[in-house]
Structure 1
Amino acid sequence: MTDESWSGWYRDARGSEAVVLTTDGQRLRVRVRGTDFEGDSFDALYPVVDSAPRSAGAGRAGAPLTDCVLEWDLPLPVLVAGTLRHATLGCLLSLRPDVPALHLALHVGGAVYESARAEGDFSAALATVRRALPDDIRLQTCSDCAFSGSFPAPGRALSGTLACFRGAKDAYRGAAAGEGGVPDLWDRRSGTVQEIWSCREFEPGATEGTGADRREAVPLEHA
């Protein structure tokens, strides 16, 4: 998958600075005050070994980004009455030491559809936005793709909780339709993906939010 970059802001007790979040749909990367951070989830961004020395500090050495706020916008494709349109998803994430707080706002067609102010993860926030949308508007993200399934275990990460089966499309279609068990396809997955990523191989599910609502995609021992 091709990398995509989103411009935004980083803020903590020491001040704020412009940052660029980069992802290939799986890994997330951001540079804060000269130090590169990387991880599979927004609440697990760790400093990269051998990255530039810290200046003014951005958390404790070796610790993930925390006690800070990340804010960014990203372009997001949506289907409006079956026609592809371009929307903007505003993301405001407070990485608090105890429980992260996330707010999403989807701007499309002059209207804004928002999540709650302090959602616990991207799946929950997108589900709130999805419920607020008119019937003729659908998100075109991994969270709504026919080939994704969410981790069913409690206490899952803030993001990157979707297993992707784009490499086994026909088998996954059959399993989702009741022809065999989805967990049997675990070894054929293409990895995990970010809920807000939009892949070129996206295919809408039979019902809205198919990927986000499917609970048997990943065996519990792997979640």
Structure 2
Amino acid sequence: MTDESWAGWYRDRRGSEAFILTTDGRRLRVRVRGTDFEGESFDALLPAAGVVPEAGAFDLADGVLGDCVLEWDLPLPVLAAGTVRQATLSCLLSLRRADPDLYLALHLDGAVYESHRAENDFASALATIRAVLPPDIQLQICTACALSGYLPASGRGISGGLGCFRDAKDAYRDVTEGSAVAGLWDRRTGLVQEIWSCREFEPRPFEPGLVTGAPAERRTGAPGPTEGAGAGRLGVHPLEHA
């Protein structure tokens, strides 16, 4: 996989700084204030190997970056009326110690498709957006791929933990229940970020009210797509509540 990087803004009680987010589709790297943090989920970012953060420069809990807000935009491939297009996904993530939350907004042709203002993770937030997209618009990212899924009944972080089965396509397509994925878990290509995309993407039909599972999608008790939508950027997570 080839690394991709996006610029954004980092905020904590010390002020605001530009930051760079880099991912290879599996691991994340955030560089802020000259310090690199790495991990497989946004709520598990640790100082990179050999890196010792400057004393007092960050709020760390057991070494994990927290009590901050990250905001960034990234290009996101979508299939619109049969044509591959580039939309923009705006991400606003509050890494609060007690209860991190996430807000996403997809921008395409002047329209904005939003998640709820305080989603638990990328899987739920992207499912909310998929539920409000017009029928002729589909996301072309890992969370919407027919070759991806989560290990049933497993805890996961805000992002990552999504199994990719592109090297076991035929066996994975034959699985009809999420519980059967456990038997294929050791054959996964690896774990990927929900917002990643690759050339072997295969669309998964989406049913509103479901969060991407594998290969059947699992139902959640989340409110409907219009409830809580419309939150403005930056106003969602005041710094004092980070």
Structure 1 Cα separation of the partners of residues 181 and 216 of structure 2: 6
User: SS at 1:213's partner residue?
Assistant: coil
Secondary structure of the 1:97 match is: coil
Q: Which residue of 2 aligns with 1:201?
A: 200
RMSD of aligned residue pairs (Cα, Å): 2.3
Structure 1 residues 109-188: aligned runs within 5 Å: 109-153=109-153, 155-176=155-176, 181-188=180-187
Q: Distance in 2 between matches of 1:144 and 1:171?
A: 19
**Partner letter of residue 187 of structure 2?**
R
Distance 1:2 1:167 in 2: 18
CA distance in structure 2 between the aligned counterparts of 1:81 and 1:212, rounded to whole angstroms: 23
Normalising by structure 2, we get a TM-score of 0.82
Offset of residue 171 of structure 1: 1.6
- Give the gaps of 5 or more residues in structure 2: 218-242
Q: Secondary structure at the match of 1:2?
A: coil
Pairwise CA distance, 1:137: 0.6
Structure 1, 147-156 or 191-200: larger mean CA deviation: 147-156
Q: Is the 8 A contact 2:46 2:65 kept in 1?
A: yes
Change (3 A) 1:213 1:50: closer
Partner residue of 1:191? 190
Match of 1:74 in 2: 74
Structure 1 segments unaligned to the other structure (5+ residues):
218-223
- Which shows bigger deviation, 44-53 or 90-99? 44-53
**Closer/same/farther in 2, CA of residues 53 and 149 from structure 1, 3 Å limit:** closer
Paired position in structure 2 for 1:221: none
**Any conservation in 2 of the 1:166–1:201 contact (CA below 8 Å)?**
yes
Please state whether the residue corresponding to 1:143 is helix, strand or coil: helix
AA of the residue aligned to 2:95: L
Give, in whole Å, the separation in 1 of the partners of 2:48 and 2:4. Answer: 19
Structure 1: distance between partners of 2:43 and 2:189 = 22
Instruction: State the 1:151 CA deviation.
Output: 3.5
* Residue identity in the other structure for 1:208: F
Tell me, in whole angstroms, the C-alpha distance in 2 between the residues paired with 1:52 and 1:34.
11
Give the CA deviation at 1:132. 0.9
Q: Which range moves more in the overlay, 150-159 or 55-64?
A: 55-64
2:221 is aligned to none
8 A Cα contact 1:152 1:215, kept in partner = no
Per-residue CA deviation, residues 71-113 of structure 1 (Å, 9 max, x unaligned), is 0000000011221111000000000001111000000121000
Check whether the contact 1:150–1:211 (CA below 8 A) recurs between aligned residues: no
Whether 1:46 and 2:46 are equivalent positions in the alignment is: yes
Provide the residue aligned with 1:57 in structure 2: 57
Q: Aligned partners of 1:199 and 1:46: how far apart in 2?
A: 27
User: Aligned residue pairs: how many?
Assistant: 214
Which amino acid in structure 1 is aligned with residue 182 of structure 2?
P
**In 1, Cα distance between the equivalents of 2:215 and 2:175?**
13
SS in 1 for 2:19: strand
Please, what TM-score do these two structures have when normalized by structure 1? 0.88
Partner of 1:105: 105
Task: Please name the residue that 1:27 is paired with.
Answer: 27
